[in-house]
Amino acid sequence: MNKAFKFRLYPTEEQKKMILMTLGHNRFLWNRMLQDKQEHYAFYQTHLYNRPAQYKDKYPWLKDIDSLSLANTQLALEKAFKAFYAKKSEIPKFHSKKQDYGYTTNLVNNNIEIVDGYLKLPKLGKIKMNKHREIPSHMTLKHVTVSKTPTDKYFVSLNFAYERDTIDIEVKETLGLDFSMTHFYVDDRGSKIEYPQTIQMDFLKLKRLQRSISRRTKSSSNYKKKQKEIAMLYERIKNKRDDFLHKLSNTIAKGYDSVTVETLDLIKIAQSNKHFAKQIQRFGWQRFITFLKYKLENQGKRFIHLSQWYPSSKTCSSCGEVHGELKMKDRVYQCPSCNYSIDRDINAAINIKRQGLIILGFA
Ligand SMILES: [Zn+2]
C-alpha cells in the first residue's frame, strides 16, 4: 500500500531558482517529447518511444537539473498516452507555465533524506520543511513530488510504501449514504450534512471576481492584481473544503465498520440538472469517496460502492416495491402500494445501506 504526506517547504532564494528551473526544464521536455510524438504519429500512424537522453544532446542545459525528474516526466507522458489509448482519458495536452504540475524524483542511494526540520533533495541540498506530522517508522520512502502554487508557496509530497497489516474486522455498525441535491449527504439514520455555507459564499465571491476580470484588459496591473486575488481565494476554498472532507470522513470511518454509497453518473446528472452537477464538483464528492475508502480500508473496515443502475430513490424502503413516478423535485417518497411516506433522501439512504448488507452477505 502507499501513502503520501504533504508538507510545506521554505526554500532559500537560491533554492527557489533551482526549483523553478527544474519545473521549467521538465515542462520543456514534456512539451518537446509530446510534439515529437504527435508529428511522428501524423507521419507514421505509430507511437514514438522517445527518451530524455536523446534530448540532452541537443539541449545540454537539461543536464543542469536533477536527471531523475526528467525520467519521471517521460514516464508520466507514456502513462498519459497509455490511458488515452485505453480510452480512459483525453489526449495528453501541452503544459503551460500557468499551471503547476510539479516534478517528481526518486529515492536512490540516500539522495533524499528527512533530517530534523529539513528535507535533503538532489541538486537542492537541505530545504527547510514544516513536518507537521510524524511518519510511521514502518513506511519506506519511494518518491517525492515538489510543487509550487500560483501564490508562490512551495510544497513537497512524500510518497511511502508499506505492508498492509490490518485484519478485516467484524462488521457491526453499518451506514448508507445518499448524495442529494439539497445536502452534501443524507444517511439512513436521518442525519443530513449541509453544504458548508462559508464555502458556498466563497464560490459566489469567486464567480464575481471571475466576472470582473473578464471585463479587464489582460496587460493591465489591475488584471494581474485580480488574477492573484482569484488564485488566493481558490487556494483558500480548496483548503477549507479538504478540511471539511477530512473531518467528515474521519468521523464516519471512526464510527462505522462498513459504509455503502451509491455511484453517481456525473455525465447524466450534468445533462439533467446542471446545478446539482456543479455542487457535486465544487464540494469534491469524488475526493470525499477516496478519503472515506482509504480511511475505512486502512482499519480493515469495508467500503461498498453500489453500481449505477441500482434504483435507490425509486424503491420503497418499507415494502420494497419500485415506482417509476418519483420526480427530481419530489422531496417526499409516497409509496402507492403500501402508503408509506418518508423523506426522499432518507428513503434512498436506507435502501443503499440494505443493498450494502446484501453484498456483505448479511441480508
Ligand atoms: Zn411501499
Q: How remote is the CA of residue 331 from the centroid of ligand 1, in Å?
A: 16
Ligand 1 centroid, distance to 327 Cα (angstroms): 17
Whether 158 shows a pLDDT value over 80: the answer reads yes
CB 326 within 8 A of CB 313: yes
DSSP string, 177-224: EE--SSSSEEETTS-EEPPPHHHHHHHHHHHHHHHHHTTS-TTSHHHH
> Contact 21/64 with Cβ under 8 angstroms?
yes
With cell 490490518, the residue in question is 166
Q: Measuring CA to CA, which residue among 167, 112, 118, 172 is closest to residue 143?
A: 112
End-to-end CA distance of the chain: 31
How much distance in Å is there from the Cα of 316 to the middle of ligand 1? 5
Give distance in angstroms: CA of 330 to centre of ligand 1.
16
Q: In angstroms, what is the span from residue 352 Cα to ligand 1's centroid?
A: 16
Q: Average pLDDT in the 186-215 region?
A: 92
Q: Say what the pLDDT of residue 90 is.
A: 84
Q: Confidence band (pLDDT; 50, 70, 90) for 215?
A: confident
- The answer on pLDDT for 174 being more than 90 is yes
Q: What is the grid cell recorded at 36?
A: 515529437
List, as one string, the DSSP characters of 49-83. Answer: ---HHHHHHH-GGGGGS-HHHHHHHHHHHHHHHHH
Res 145: pLDDT: 97
> What separation in angstroms does the CA of 294 have from each of 147, 246, 277, 287?
24, 11, 24, 11
- Per-residue pLDDT, averaged over 278-300, amounts to 90
Does the reported pTM lie above 0.75?
Answer: no
Confidence of residue 353 (pLDDT cuts 50, 70, 90): very high
312 CA to centre of ligand 1 in angstroms: 13
> Which of 184, 201, 204, 202 is CA-nearest to residue 193?
184
pLDDT at 133 exceeding the cut of 90: no
Q: What H or E segment, with its residue span, contains residue 157?
A: strand 154-161
* Ligand 1 center from residue 332 Cα (angstroms): 13
pLDDT tens by residue, 75-120: 999 999 998 988 777 889 999 887 778 999 999 988 999 988 999 9
Residue-wise pLDDT for 22-75, tens only, equals 999 999 999 999 999 999 999 999 999 999 999 999 999 999 999 999 999 999
Output the CA 357–ligand 1 centroid distance in Å: 20
SS3 state of residue 43:
helix
Measured distance CA(151)–CA(26) in Å, rounded: 20
Cα torsion at 216, 217, 219, 221 (round to 10°)?
-30
Can you give the pLDDT at residue 165?
63
Interatomic CA distance for residues 292 and 305, integer angstroms: 11
Angle, alpha carbons 241-243-246 (nearest 5°): 110
Residue 363: what pLDDT?
64
**pLDDT value of residue 109:** 87
The span from the CA of 228 to the CA of 240, in Å, is 18
Mean pLDDT (whole number) for 284-309: 90
d(CA 68, CA 214): 40
Q: Residue 174 Cα, ligand 1 centroid: separation in angstroms?
A: 23
Share of the chain above pLDDT 90, in %: 65
Confidence check: pLDDT of 12 > 80:
yes
What is the pLDDT, as a whole number, of residue 166? 62
Cα 315 to middle of ligand 1, angstroms: 8
Q: Ligand 1 mean position to 334 CA, how many Å? A: 8
Mean pLDDT taken over the chain: 91
The DSSP call for residue 173 is -
Asked if 9 contacts 155 with a C-beta cutoff of 8 angstroms, the reply is yes
Which runs of E-coded beta strand occur in 231-356? 258-261, 302-305, 332-334, 341-343
Q: How far is the CA of 64 from the centre of ligand 1 (A)?
A: 71
With a CB cutoff of 8 Å and minimum separation 6, the contacts of 138 are: 162, 163
For the cut 80, the answer to whether the pLDDT of residue 160 exceeds it is yes
Q: Cβ(230)–Cβ(209) under 8 Å?
A: yes
Q: Supply the pLDDT for residue 180.
A: 81
